[in-house]
C-alpha cells in the first residue's frame, strides 16, 4: 500500500540549451555525420558560388528582361487601353482590401518573431555576399578570367548587411515584448515592396536621338513606367482595408453576404473590361436592360417573401419544377440571351430560397444579393456580347503573363465547381448521372492535355452551332478547365470516400435534406481532407498553361524561350535564352511557392477542428 506520497510538479526539462549543444546533436553527433556535414557544406558553397557567378558574369545580358518586361506581362495589348487594366486591378485590389479589413481578427504578433525573420533573411544575404566569387571564367578554353565583384563593393555590402542584422537583433531582443498587429505588419511588408520598386535601379536599354543604343546602359527604377500606378494601387489597398475594418465594426451582416458575390462577379468584370472593350449605348441600357433588371428584382422579391411562406411551402416542389420547365422553354425561344440566363437563375433562386431565407433578416440580405447580382450580370452580358473595340495585331488580345494568369485563374475557377459536381455525380445513386460523370472523367483523363488543346483549337468549332465561334483564348480556357475538372473530381471523390457512414446517418437523423447534408456536412469535411492534392493540382495547372504555346498562344514561357531570344532589331537580344529561361523559372517559382505557403497556412487553420 502506497501512502500519500508527496509528488511535486517539476518544470519540463529545457530542450534547447545553446548553440554548441544544438550543433553537437544535429550536425556532429558522430564521425560519419561530421564528415557528411563538412562535405555537404563544401558542396553547397561551391554550388552557390557558381550560381552567383553565373548571375553576375558580364556575359549575361539581363537588360533583355528589364527592357522586355512589358512584353512579358501583356505582350501586344495596346498601350492606349492600359488604363482599363489598371482600373480592373484596382477593383480587385479594392475588393481585396475590403475583404481583408472586414475579416480582420486583429491578431497580434510579437516583434520577436519579426526580428527573427529579418535576421534570417539578412544573415542569408550576408552569407551569399561573403561566398560570392570575385572573378569568373568567361572562356573555358582560353581560361580568360574577368573581375566582376570588387573587394570594396563586397566590404561595403557586408557592412550594410551587418548593420541590418544588428538592427534586427536589437528588434528581437530589446523590443521583443512589443506587440504589433499582424495586419499592420503585412501592410508594412507590401509597402516595402512598393518602396523597393522606386529605389532599386537596374540597367535598361535606352536609345539616343539617332536611335543608337546608349552604352553603358543607364540605371532606372525597376518598374520605371508602372511605379506610379502600383503606388496608387497600394494606397487604395490600405484605404479599403481600413474601410473594411470600419464596416466590420459596424456589424453589417448584409455586407458579409455581398462580399462573396462581388468576388464571384469579379472575373466577369475582368473579362469585359480587359478582354473586351464593349460598345455600350445608353439607349440600350435604359430601354432594355433597366426594365429587365427592375422586373426580375420585383419577381425575386416576390419569390423570397411570399413563395416562401408557410402556406405555400408544401407546393414548393411544383414551383421548382415549373420554373425549370419555363426556363428550358424560354431557352429555346429566340429572345435576349440575358433573359435566358435570368430564367435559369430564377429557377435556382426558387430552389434555394426556402433554405437560405429562413428569417426576416436573411430574406432581406438574399434580396439585396439577388438584385445586385442580376444588375451586374445584365450589364456585364451587355458588355460581353457586344463588339470589342480593342485592336491588336496578331491573333489574341492576351499574351505573356496576362495570358498565363487568365488561363490559370479561369481554369481553376471554372474547374472547381465543375469538378466537385462531377465527383458528386460519380458517387451519386442515380445510375444515369453516375454513368455520364464516370464517362466524362475517364474520357478526359485518358487523353493527353496537348491533344485536348489541339482538339479545342482545331475541332471544337465542328461541335458548336453555326455562327458561334470562340476566340483561341476562350477555347484554351474551356479545355484547361475541363481537363483540370476531371482530375479534381477524382481528388474530391477521394475526400468523399474518407467520410464515414456515420456522418451521413447523423445528418439524416437530425433531418437535414440531401442538399443540406452535402453542403453542410459532407463537402466541408471532404474538401478539407483533400487540400494537399488539390493544391498540387492547382500548382501543376498553373505550370501546364505554358503548353498553350503549342496552339499558337504567346504565354510567358513562349515569350521567354522564343520571342525575346530572336529579337534582332533595336536592342538586339539574339541568343539571350539562358537569362530569359531563368527569369521565367524564377517567376513561376515565386507564384507557385507563395501559393503553396498560403495553402499550408490555410490547412493549418482548417485543421484546428480535427483530432
Partner 1 sequence: MSIIQSIDVKKWYGDFQALKGITMDVAEGEVLVICGPSGSGKSTFIRCINRLEQHQDGQIIVDGIELTNDLKNIEAIRSEVGMVFQSFNLFPHLTVLQNITLAPIWVRKKSKSEAEEKAMELLERVGIPEQADKFPGQLSGGQQQRVAIARALAMEPKIMLFDEPTSALDPEMIKEVLDVMKELAQSGMTMIVVTHEMGFAKEVADRVMLFDEGQLVEQNTPEEFFNNPESDRTKLFLSQIL
By beta-carbon proximity to partner 1, the closer residue of 436 and 499 is: 499
Q: Catalogue the E-assigned strands of 16-63.
A: none
DSSP state of 565: G
By the 8 A CB rule, do 557 and 582 touch? Answer: no
| Least distance from partner 1 to the Cβ atom of residue 358, Å | 4
Segment near partner 1 (CB under 8 A), from 6-14, 111-119, 506-514, 559-567? 506-514
Using CB under 8 A, pick the residue from 459, 509, 601, 605 that binds partner 1. 509
Residue 512 as a binder of partner 1 (CB under 8 A): the answer is yes
- Judged by CB under 8 A, the residue of 505, 562, 594, 598 near partner 1 is 505
Under 8 Å CB-to-CB from 83, ≥6 apart: which residues? none
- Which grid cell sits at 255? 455586407
| Of 345, 354, 284, 285, residue with least CA distance to 315 | 354
Judged by CB under 8 A, the residue of 294, 506, 550, 585 near partner 1 is 506
CB of 129 to partner 1, least distance (A): 48
* C-alpha torsion sign, points 15, 19, 22, 25: negative
CA 209-210-214 angle, 5° bins: 75
H helix intervals, 333-470:
337-356, 360-385, 400-426, 431-445, 449-454, 460-463
- Three cell numbers at 300? 425575386
Least distance (Å) from partner 1 to the CB of residue 512? Answer: 6
Residue 521 interacts with partner 1 (CB under 8 A): yes or no = yes
* The binder of partner 1 chosen from 99, 375, 438, 525 (CB under 8 A): 525
If one asks whether residue 524 binds partner 1 (CB under 8 A), the answer comes out as: yes
CB 415 within 8 A of CB 488: yes
Kindly identify the residues of this chain, within the stretch 353-392, that bind partner 1 according to CB under 8 A. Answer: 355, 358-359, 361
Nearer to partner 1, 105 or 608 (CB): 608
Query: H/E element holding 221?
Result: strand 219-221
Residues 550-609 that bind partner 1 (CB under 8 A): 608-609
Interface mask (CB under 8 A) for partner 1, residues 121-140, using x and -?
A: --------------------
Q: Across the chain, how many H-helices and E-strands are there? A: 27, 6
Q: Is residue 149 within 8 Å of 133, Cβ to Cβ?
A: yes
What grid cell was written down for 87? Answer: 482600373
Interface pick for partner 1 out of 511, 569, 601, 604 (rule CB under 8 A): 511
Instruction: Mark the segment that binds partner 1 (CB under 8 A) among 40-48, 266-274, 327-335, 516-524.
Output: 516-524
Three cell numbers written together for 574: 539574339
Stretch that binds partner 1, among 85-93, 383-391, 411-419, 524-532 (CB under 8 A): 524-532
Contact flags string 257-286 toward partner 1, x per CB under 8 A: ------------------------------
Question: In the complex with partner 1, which residue's Cβ is closer, 127 or 510?
Answer: 510
* Closest distance of CB 509 from partner 1, Å: 4
> In this complex, which beta carbon is closest to partner 1, that of residue 601 or of residue 611?
611
CB 304, min distance to partner 1, A: 14
DSSP character string of 509-561: HTT--HHHIIIIIIHHHHHHHTHHHHHHHHHHHHHHGGGGGGGT--BHHHIII
CA distances from 480 to 42, 457, 609 (A): 44, 12, 34
Q: Which residue in the set 528, 531, 577, 595 belongs to the binding site for partner 1 (CB under 8 A)?
A: 528
Q: What angle do CA 447, 434, 354 make, to 5 degrees?
A: 125
The nearest distance, CB 317 to partner 1, in angstroms, is 9
**Residues touching partner 1: how many (CB under 8 A)?**
26
Q: Which residues contact 387 (CB under 8 A, 6 or more apart)?
A: 278, 279
User: Looking up cell 474530391, which residue turns up?
Assistant: 492
Cβ proximity to partner 1: between 48 and 504 the closer is 504
Q: How far is the CB of 328 from partner 1 (least distance, A)?
A: 24
Sites of contact with partner 1 (CB under 8 A): 355, 358-359, 361, 500, 502-503, 505-513, 516, 520-521, 524-525, 528, 608-611
Amino acid at each position: 500500500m502506497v501512502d500519500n506520497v508527496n509528488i511535486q510538479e517539476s518544470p519540463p526539462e529545457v530542450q534547447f540549451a545553446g548553440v554548441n549543444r544544438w550543433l553537437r546533436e544535429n550536425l556532429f553527433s558522430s564521425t560519419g555525420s561530421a564528415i557528411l556535414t563538412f562535405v555537404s557544406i563544401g558542396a553547397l558553397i561551391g554550388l552557390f558560388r557558381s550560381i552567383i557567378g553565373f548571375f553576375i558574369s558580364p556575359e549575361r545580358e539581363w537588360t533583355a528582361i528589364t527592357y522586355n518586361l512589358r512584353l512579358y506581362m501583356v505582350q501586344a495589348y495596346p498601350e492606349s487601353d492600359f488604363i482599363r487594366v489598371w482600373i480592373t486591378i484596382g477593383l480587385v485590389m479594392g475588393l481585396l482590401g475590403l475583404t481583408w479589413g472586414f475579416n480582420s481578427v486583429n491578431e497580434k504578433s510579437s516583434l520577436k518573431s519579426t526580428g527573427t525573420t529579418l535576421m534570417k533573411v539578412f544573415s542569408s544575404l550576408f552569407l551569399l555576399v561573403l561566398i560570392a566569387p570575385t572573378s569568373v571564367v568567361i572562356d573555358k578554353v582560353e581560361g580568360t578570367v574577368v573581375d566582376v565583384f570588387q573587394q570594396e563593393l563586397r566590404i561595403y555590402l557586408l557592412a550594410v548587411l551587418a548593420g541590418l542584422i544588428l538592427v534586427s537583433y536589437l528588434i528581437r531582443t530589446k523590443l521583443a515584448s512589443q506587440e504589433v498587429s499582424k495586419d499592420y505588419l503585412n501592410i508594412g511588408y507590401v509597402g516595402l515592396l512598393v518602396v523597393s520598386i522606386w529605389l532599386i535601379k537596374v540597367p535598361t536599354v535606352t536609345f539616343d536621338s539617332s536611335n543608337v543604343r546608349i552604352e553603358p546602359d543607364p540605371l532606372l527604377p525597376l518598374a520605371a513606367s508602372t511605379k506610379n500606378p502600383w503606388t496608387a494601387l497600394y494606397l487604395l489597398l490600405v484605404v479599403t482595408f481600413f474601410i473594411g475594418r470600419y464596416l466590420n465594426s459596424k456589424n453589417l451582416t448584409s455586407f458579409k453576404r455581398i462580399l462573396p458575390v462581388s468576388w464571384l462577379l469579379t472575373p466577369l468584370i475582368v473579362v469585359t473590361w480587359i478582354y473586351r472593350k464593349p460598345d455600350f449605348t445608353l439607349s440600350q441600357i435604359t430601354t432594355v436592360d433597366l426594365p429587365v433588371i427592375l422586373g426580375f428584382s420585383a419577381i425575386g422579391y416576390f419569390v423570397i417573401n411570399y413563395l416562401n411562406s408557410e402556406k405555400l411551402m408544401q407546393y414548393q416542389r411544383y414551383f421548382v419544377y415549373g420554373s425549370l420547365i419555363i426556363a428550358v422553354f424560354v431557352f429555346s425561344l429566340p429572345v435576349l440571351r440575358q433573359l435566358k440566363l435570368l430564367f435559369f437563375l430564377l429557377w435556382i433562386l426558387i430552389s434555394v430560397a426556402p433554405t437560405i431565407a429562413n428569417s426576416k433578416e436573411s430574406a432581406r440580405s438574399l434580396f439585396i444579393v439577388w438584385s445586385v447580382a442580376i444588375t451586374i450580370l445584365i450589364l456585364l452580358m451587355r458588355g460581353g456580347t457586344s463588339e470589342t473595340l480593342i485592336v491588336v495585331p496578331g491573333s489574341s488580345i492576351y499574351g505573356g503573363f496576362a495570358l498565363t494568369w487568365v488561363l490559370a485563374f479561369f481554369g481553376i475557377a471554372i474547374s472547381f465547381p465543375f469538378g466537385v459536381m462531377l465527383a458528386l455525380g460519380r458517387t451519386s445513386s442515380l445510375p444515369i448521372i453516375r454513368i455520364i460523370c464516370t464517362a466524362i472523367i475517364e474520357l478526359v483523363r485518358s487523353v493527353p492535355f496537348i491533344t485536348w488543346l489541339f482538339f479545342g483549337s482545331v475541332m471544337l468549332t465542328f461541335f458548336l452551332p453555326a455562327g458561334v465561334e470562340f476566340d483561341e483564348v476562350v477555347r484554351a480556357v474551356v479545355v484547361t478547365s475541363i481537363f483540370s475538372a476531371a482530375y479534381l473530381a477524382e481528388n474530391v471523390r477521394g475526400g468523399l470516400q474518407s467520410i464515414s457512414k456515420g456522418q451521413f446517418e447523423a445528418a439524416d437523423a437530425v433531418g437535414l435534406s440531401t442538399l443540406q447534408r452535402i453542403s453542410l456536412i459532407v463537402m466541408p469535411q471532404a474538401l478539407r481532407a483533400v487540400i494537399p492534392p488539390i493544391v498540387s493540382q492547382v500548382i501543376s495547372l498553373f505550370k501546364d498553361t505554358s503548353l498553350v504555346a503549342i496552339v499558337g498562344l504567346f504565354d510567358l514561357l513562349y515569350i521567354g524561350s522564343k520571342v525575346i531570344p530572336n529579337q534582332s532589331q533595336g536592342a538586339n537580344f539574339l541568343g539571350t535564352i539562358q537569362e530569359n529561361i531563368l527569369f521565367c523559372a524564377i517567376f513561376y517559382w515565386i507564384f507557385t511557392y507563395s501559393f503553396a505557403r498560403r495553402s499550408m497556412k490555410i490547412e493549418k487553420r482548417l485543421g484546428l477542428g480535427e483530432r
